Structure 1
């Protein structure tokens, strides 16, 4: 167990969350409530059944449930409720800033208009800023199991909202869908002025991290675990100070690692990488950001200084303007003074 002093430190530290899929914060209780509101039949009849379904042994099993759960999200109000519920939960963990992914293609392909999804999320983001004091940036993700052409279609469809996104991401099934599959799409996104994120090196090989970083030129690597198998790549990531958004409890749930003690977070900190700790899909993976910090600290025997460094990295690795980053880093200093 983390000692009470460390648990207290984690709770006190202001944090940013840089790897969070808003659809992955869909708690079973809310899912059942929205299914009832929208008169949709779910394969589970009780809350216990729904909770039991949140156990899986790999990325694909999780994705199957993840897309199934999305079926009940139909209206702007649904997306608003989903997003606000997450922000309220994040506030409890002293999260001050969030950069959240969402998957428009998973909604538009089942007939929910792009604007319904996006406007619902944006309305909750505004409310979160006003009432909870949490700033949020939205990152539009492309589904990598779909074609690059589908990605270009999404780029056109989303044009009216482009000023509402800080950047783009790439998620879903990784193996067999290397970063270079989306080279032209990402080139276009860079021209538009988007920040570039990509999931790489979660299940995919180190070469995917290399492609994302050196061929595509991403600003941030999501996950990035397997870069540790390539010492030359580790040196490049350290020299470039490219942020890595590690998700420890997610890695454990999806059997990317079979023990939290095998999380690369501590080794990455010790090697000077700009690693951050995040919750990924917290409703499915057994914990929000505070619990990820606590469980990782316990498993890896992290020092107080390392926990503080992770909190600092979360702001340094964000897409916030320099002045805002400095203000958040000062608030960390105040919290530990």
Structure 2
């Protein structure tokens, strides 16, 4: 095999423009390792070879096919086949069916490391929680999700996500299996399959903290301070309406809504709250001052990062009931 072709192979088949400047030095390096034998004549030919001549030679050689990993051999391929593609029915009536999603806080640029908000919502009751994390590493997102579920006020039976690698991974699969939870995923590029959490993302994330870039631990601390108060306010004080009937007339869908109730009240009405903790939750909700919570949120948002340390401690969190605490220890917010 010609020396030039051996050098071309050693450098992973580059074009003549990339190969020509390093042809001689790479050939000498290969000669030092005994891969080629450089004679005076070979050295002279390599030194005198023009880039055009090199390009003509390369065009005659067979280049290996494009390198790729077959889809069925990728690490996530078997996980995707294991997690069914489904979505909750619009009239799902069993509390504990959760949709999860990540919201980026990159300020319009995906370069570098920045914060994300993990958003979780029950499609039946509307109960929701949020936790901010720095980056979207699988372990960090999994720890935030576990924290939310251990503090959920009633049993959870299902988790539904999009197809992002932060969710479609072995950590979440093991977690759901260990806790007896159903795990499903959306159809690719179908945001409506996760419509409930997308709605909460707009209403309780974007309209609250906006579209700015948050990319430091201090930013994450501030976001979680805001969410600690916001989650209490949204779940125990803010009423929401829910679709109870749909009728299609041609291309138009007519919807009928029920009376507005707070997510916590919907959980009570659906008998989702365990009997032994109903009194605690009821008394806790009655003890809240909605106006105080509203003022606190306005103050935190107005102060920005300075409010993370100035704000009083969040209200006591109710007892955990979402998953078995004997199996899973709650992790503190960063």
Alignment TM-score, normalising by the size of structure 1: 0.23
Pick the structure with more helix per residue. 1
Greater RCO structure (CA 8 Å; 6+ sep):
1
